[in-house]
């Protein structure tokens, strides 16, 4: 007896969902476009949620997203690359025309990239969520409706696994008081903002773009303990699940006379790293620390030193203890092997200070939104 051409769709829906959820995102998208029976299943919110909860089963779902601008300040590039070879697999443009001049990457999580459309002077703007796998984006309403009471926003983004929810956090600092701010959280499922009435961010982030690292369910920023008496660095973390702040101290043994310090993430997004820059007689040197047990100050460990002339740009990404993605002062993207002390040219050049690198895992998020 011959079976129907779409035998799989004669199975119970939960069985079909389980089978399809194990497929890589690219296959699902192709399947959706050629099979008229599959779109209602793949586009179903329950299936999207199930697929988000499944680990990516194919290497093709894992990418490294590198953003950079041309040296003539005219062009912006979004480059998806293999996290193993760093070869480019796709270069795309955002189907959204920015309003304020700068489209900054806030973060990337479970297939969505969060952008902040802002300008150089105010750092107040509009937020965008974009899924390059399915070419869909969502514009997020300004939570404070362009109020002129605020000096600047600080933004974070991530996915909360426990409740299968994408969230954005905004800290808005007031013009008239450096110690006061308000905290707001956006949830994608409800497409709405809420103000955390009894919560104030415990640290200060200066006016200007403040990048972050999303690790262990928390957004982490390099912040100042005291905005009035000067910079004293610490790490301010916001847990997107319980919506509470915590303050993490820098490594106890970090040499204090650095002239730059920044946060970085590992390629797998599971480890928080700190990079401190020192300028000596032999040129630039970066000490790289990793927090092996998130939140435990005593777990900071100096994992390597990157010493190379012409390397004053903060490291972009830590692939492992031996390899670090860096940008030279002349704008060349390089992979530095710590053990061998060698640089591998990745044949990409741009405006040095514009480079940003985040991990990206393809998903169907926003498919039914």
| pLDDT at 322 > cutoff 60 | yes
pLDDT at site 103: 85
| pLDDT at 152 > cutoff 90 | no
- Residue (of 282, 285, 345, 359) closest to 316 by Cα position: 359
Domain ranges of the chain: 7-53, 94-248
pLDDT at site 228: 56
pLDDT at site 50: 63
CA–CA dist 44, 246 (Å, integer): 37
Please give the average per-residue pLDDT across 311-327, as a whole number.
89
| pLDDT at 329 > cutoff 50 | yes
Torsion of CA 313, 274, 89, 310, to 10 degrees: 20
Report pTM: 0.87
Residue 27: what are its φ and ψ, rounded to 5°? -65, -40
- Residue (of 209, 213, 216, 158) closest to 357 by Cα position: 213
pLDDT at site 331: 97
């Amino acid at each position: 007896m011959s079976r129907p051409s779409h035998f799989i769709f004669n199975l119970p829906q939960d069985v079909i969902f389980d089978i399809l959820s194990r497929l890589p995102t690219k296959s699902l998208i192709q399947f959706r476009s050629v099979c008229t029976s599959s779109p209602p299943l793949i586009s179903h919110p329950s299936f999207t949620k199930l697929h988000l909860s499944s680990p990516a089963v194919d290497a093709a779902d894992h990418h490294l997203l590198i953003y950079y601008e041309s040296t003539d300040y005219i062009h912006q590039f979004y480059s998806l690359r293999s996290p193993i070879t760093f070869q480019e697999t796709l270069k795309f443009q955002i189907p959204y025309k920015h309003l304020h001049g700068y489209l900054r990457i806030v973060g990337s999580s479970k297939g969505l990239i969060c952008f902040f459309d802002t300008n150089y002077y105010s750092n107040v703007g509009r937020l965008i969520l974009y899924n390059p796998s399915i070419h869909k984006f969502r514009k997020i309403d300004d939570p404070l409706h362009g109020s002129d009471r605020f000096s600047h926003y600080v933004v974070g983004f991530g996915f909360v696994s426990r409740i299968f929810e994408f969230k954005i956090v905004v800290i808005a600092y007031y013009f008239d008081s450096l110690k006061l701010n308000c905290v707001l959280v956006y949830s994608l499922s409800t497409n709405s903002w809420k103000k955390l009435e009894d919560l104030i961010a415990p640290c200060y982030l200066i006016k200007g773009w403040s990048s972050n690292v999303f690790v262990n369910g928390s957004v982490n920023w390099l912040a100042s303990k005291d905005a009035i008496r000067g910079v004293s660095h610490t790490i301010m973390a916001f847990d997107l699940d319980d919506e509470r702040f915590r303050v993490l101290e820098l490594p106890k043994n970090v040499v204090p006379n650095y002239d730059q310090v920044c946060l970085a993430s590992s390629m797998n997004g599971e480890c928080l790293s700190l990079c401190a820059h020192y300028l000596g007689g032999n040129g630039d040197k970066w000490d790289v620390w990793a927090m092996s047990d998130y939140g435990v100050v005593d777990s900071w460990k100096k994992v390597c030193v990157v010493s190379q002339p012409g390397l004053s740009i903060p490291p972009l990404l830590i692939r492992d203890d031996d390899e670090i993605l860096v940008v030279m002062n002349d704008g060349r993207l390089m992979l530095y092997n710590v053990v061998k002390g060698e640089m591998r040219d990745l044949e990409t050049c741009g405006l040095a200070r514009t480079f940003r690198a985040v991990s990206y895992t393809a998903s169907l998020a926003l498919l039914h939104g």
